Structure 1
Amino acid sequence: MTYTLYIGNKRYSSWSMRPWVLFKAFNIPFDEKLVFFGSDLASQRIEFSKFLPSAKVPCLFDSAASSAAIFDSLAIVEYIAETYPAVWPSDKLARAFARCAAAEMHAGFGDIRTDCPMNVALRIELGPRSEALQRDIDRLTELLSEGISRFGGPWLAGKEFTAADAFYAPIASRCKTYGIELGGEAGSYLDRLFDHPAVKQWVDEGITEPGIVARYEEDTKRGRKVLKNLGEQMLLDFLGL
């Protein structure tokens, strides 16, 4: 095994989800190392720093390159693209758009991140949206619609699933969690993305994994109404209750 990918809880870790989904979608062999987040952030950083250079996930180690560590989700994708160029579109313009879209997700959409923390297992009644959150949602709709319109879909930059789609997988999950529906092609695209086998596997494993962290659960809820807890529902269904 050449690649070892360290990830955080699948229930919460949007940053980890991106490269993991990409590896799975392209059938790139890797060894998964799941490290659970702790109840205390300072203690978590101390513990993670023992084996992760940035004390954060995701982090990729390549044993074929003297166990070199790549500790940023976008850098991991670019590193993998050196060996698997198909993770980006082959068409020049589509590739440029895909990189722009991934970079915007990597650095932007801060109000969606802040107001709608990732939690694949809960369904939350979002309630009134701030102007800032609505601007992010409007921009998201615009960007996704542009990609589908320019390159014909069904994926963000054309016919093939690429790194750009992997970068928007956490947003597809967030929209499900908080009941955010985008109009037109943007909404249809997010539905397709959420149903992609690699995305579905991550979400399903996140719903059932142990390691629930109270501070993340409370950050998701923030006094908002919990419409459904999919983990609890799956347990009840299993028990026939």
Structure 2
Amino acid sequence: MLTLVIGNKNYSSWSLRPFLVLRTFGVQFDEVRILLDTPHFQQDVAKWAPNLRVPALHDDGLMIWDSLAICEYVNERYLDGRGWPSDVAARAQARSAAAEMHSGFMALRKQCPMNMRRTPDNYRWDEAGQRDIERIQALWRELKDAHGQGGPFLCGEFSIVDAMFAPVVSRFLSYGVPMDDNAQAFADAIQSLPAWQEWRDAGFAEVEYLEDTEKFRA
């Protein structure tokens, strides 16, 4: 049995990505959740990941770390390649977009960290954050126009690239980012996934550590 080690479902954007891939493609796994930003986080996560980060995937003694690497491993080991589009061009551009997400958009990440319970308010991001937002929505349009006519996701059917951008959907919703029609349709498709709904509901229900009182709250 696979074991996926994750952080808080409300906050851990990197953990969400492989969770969506595993759940949506029906791969069975056990889940270990370690709350972030607690005094004992490093001690707890060290049992599962020597780099002291989540997520990590364990499979019969093999440990894979990093969200994209986990998704690639699951695709090769359990999905017979179904995790990416079957068309060569679509697969190449989906991988390019996933890699851009993996390494980029730092302004948006820093200024709008994932917080699924957050509701939009008057907070606004700066010009660098806006450039990230515009680039992301342009990228979604490019993928959808070129490869996405066969379904509601970026390349038609759900694939790893959609999972890589799912935390961005959460950010856009939580911070009230204006979305064009294509981006809104993609956000709706992500939110329709049972795996997303399961993750969101668990995130809303999970406890948080209160450092000042050294207690937890729902």
CA-based RMSD of the aligned residues comes to: 1.8
Rounded to whole Å, the distance in 2 between the matches of 1:114 and 1:169 is: 17
CA deviation string 1:145-172 (max 9, x = no partner)? 11111112421112x1001111111111
1:235 is matched with none
CA deviation string 1:18-74 (max 9, x = no partner)? 00011010000111111112334xx522432233121110000111xxx11001111
1:80 is matched with 74
1:188 is matched with 185
Rounded to whole Å, the distance in 1 between the matches of 2:21 and 2:122 is: 29
TM-score of the aligned structures, taking structure 2 as reference length: 0.90
- Which runs of no fewer than 5 residues in structure 2 stay unpaired? 212-216
TM-score of the aligned structures, taking structure 1 as reference length: 0.82
Rounded to whole Å, the distance in 1 between the matches of 2:65 and 2:144 is: 30
Paired positions, count: 209
Overall identity of the aligned pairs, in %: 41
Structure 1 residue 186 displacement after superposition: 2.0
| Correspondence 1:107 to 2:103 | yes
2:118 is matched with 122
Structure 1 residue 80 displacement after superposition: 1.0
Rounded to whole Å, the distance in 1 between the matches of 2:38 and 2:18 is: 25
Q: Contact conserved, 2:42 with 2:52, CA < 8 A, in 1? A: yes
Equivalent AA in structure 2 for residue 118 of structure 1: M
- Which runs of no fewer than 5 residues in structure 1 stay unpaired? 216-230, 233-241
2:57 is matched with 60
Q: Contact conserved, 1:173 with 1:194, CA < 8 A, in 2? A: no
2:155 is matched with 157
Structure 1 residue 126 displacement after superposition: 4.6
Rounded to whole Å, the distance in 2 between the matches of 1:188 and 1:28 is: 26
Equivalent AA in structure 1 for residue 91 of structure 2: R
- Alignment CA distance shift 1:128-1:34 (3 Å): closer
Structure 1 residue 189 displacement after superposition: 1.2
1:141 is matched with 137
Rounded to whole Å, the distance in 1 between the matches of 2:66 and 2:125 is: 30
Rounded to whole Å, the distance in 1 between the matches of 2:169 and 2:56 is: 23
Rounded to whole Å, the distance in 2 between the matches of 1:90 and 1:164 is: 13
CA deviation string 1:53-107 (max 9, x = no partner)? 21110000111xxx11001111111111112110111110111111111111111
| Secondary structure of the corresponding residue to residue 32 of structure 2 | strand
In terms of fraction of residues, the more helix-rich structure is: 1
Q: Contact conserved, 1:6 with 1:57, CA < 8 A, in 2? A: yes
Runs of 4+ in 1 over 4 A off after TM superposition: none
Rounded to whole Å, the distance in 2 between the matches of 1:142 and 1:95 is: 18
